[in-house]
Amino acid sequence: MEKITKALVNENIDEFRQLFLKLHPYDRAKFYVEQSPEVRKRMYYYLSPGEMAEIFDHLDIEEDEYKTYLSEMDPSFIAQMLAQMYADNAVDVLNELDKKEAASYLTMMGDEAAKEIKDLLHYKEYTAGSIMTTEYIAIHANQTVRSAMQILKKEALHAETIYYIYVINEHKQLVGVLSLRELIVSDDDQMIHDIMNDQVVSVLVDEDQEDVARKMKDYDFLALPVVDAANHLLGIITVDDIVDVISEEASDDYSKLAGVADVDIQRSP
C-alpha cells in the first residue's frame, strides 16, 4: 500500500497502475476511500472509467457517501463509469442523486447501458426488483449442451454469475435451471430439456428483499431468479447482493434495539 501511495504522490502512473491493479477489487476500493480528495482526483486521471467502475462495484460505504465521491469527478467520467458498473449497483448510486442529475448521466451514456439501468430504476426500494441484476445467462430448452456452452462462453464475461444457467421458453418464461457443473459434465449432444431441473425456485419481483434473503439461505443457492406474476424471467439476485441486505437489516434492527434501550435509560429515575 505504501508503494502505491508513493507512486501516486510521485506521479508515477505506470508504477501506480501496475501495483494497484494487482490488488483484489475490494482492496482497491478500500485504498480508494482511504485517500484524501486530492489523491483521489489523481486516481481518476490514472484509471479508466471501467477500472473505477470495478472499484465502485465493491465500495463498502453508506449510500449517501456516493455523492461526495461523485462530486470529485467529471460528469462524462461518471456517466461512463456508471455504464460499466453492474446495473444493480449503478442503480444504488443513482438513487442517491437528485432526479435531474441522475437523468443527465443516463443521457450521457450509451443507449444499451441506460436502458438496463432505467428498467431497474422503476422497482420499489427493498424489493427483489431493486436488488436484482439483469446480467444473467439464459438458454433455451430445445438446444444442445454444445450450443449452450457456446452461449455461455460468449456471455460469461458480462454475466454477474455464470454458476447457474436459466432456461427460458419463447415467451421468456422461466422453465428450468442448470448449474455450471451440471452443464460441463453433460455430453455435448444432450438436449438441455433432458438435463435441466424444471422445478425452479424463484422470487417475485415485488417480494421483500428480506424474504429473498431467507429463501436464498433456506435453499442454499448462490443465486435466485426473479420473475413477474406471469413467470417471465426479469433478473437474478446473487448471494453477494444478499449479504449486503442481511448486514443492512441487521444494523437496522440493532439501531432500533439501541433506540429502545436509550429511551428506557432516560425514563428510569
The CB-side HSE value for 130 (13 A sphere, CA atoms) comes to 16
Of 179, 193, 244, 249, which one interacts with ligand ATP (CB under 6 A)? 179
Of 82, 224, 233, 245, which one interacts with ligand ATP (CB under 6 A)? 224
Of 96, 135, 182, 210, which one interacts with ligand ATP (CB under 6 A)? 182
Largest CA distance in the chain: 78
Residue ranges of alpha helices (H) inside the chain are 2-9, 13-20, 25-34, 37-46, 49-57, 66-70, 75-84, 87-94, 99-108, 111-121, 128-131, 145-155, 180-184, 192-195, 209-219, 239-267
User: How far is Cα 55 from Cα 27, in angstroms, rounded to an integer?
Assistant: 9
Number of residues that bind ligand ATP (CB under 6 A): 14
Instruction: Candidates 39-47, 50-58, 114-122, 216-224: pick the segment binding ligand ATP (CB under 6 A).
Output: 216-224
Q: Least distance to ligand ATP from the beta carbon of 137, Å? A: 12
Q: Least distance to ligand ATP from the beta carbon of 195, Å? A: 9
Residue 267 three-state SS: helix
Q: Least distance to ligand ATP from the beta carbon of 99, Å? A: 35
Residue 33 three-state SS: helix
Instruction: Candidates 29-37, 124-132, 217-225, 259-267: pick the segment binding ligand ATP (CB under 6 A).
Output: 217-225
Residue 47 or residue 245: which is nearer to ligand ATP going by CB? 245
**Any idea of the CA torsion for 85, 87, 92, 97, to the nearest 10 degrees?**
80
Residue 83 or residue 203: which is nearer to ligand ATP going by CB? 203
What does the per-residue mask of binding to ligand ATP show for 149-178, with x meaning CB under 6 A? ---------------x------------xx
Q: What single-letter DSSP state applies at residue 127?
A: B
User: How far is Cα 188 from Cα 117, in angstroms, rounded to an integer?
Assistant: 36
What does the per-residue mask of binding to ligand ATP show for 105-144, with x meaning CB under 6 A? ----------------------------------------
Residue 240 CA to its chain's centroid (Å): 8
Q: Which residues bind ligand ATP (CB under 6 A)?
A: 164, 177-179, 181-182, 197, 199-201, 221-222, 224-225
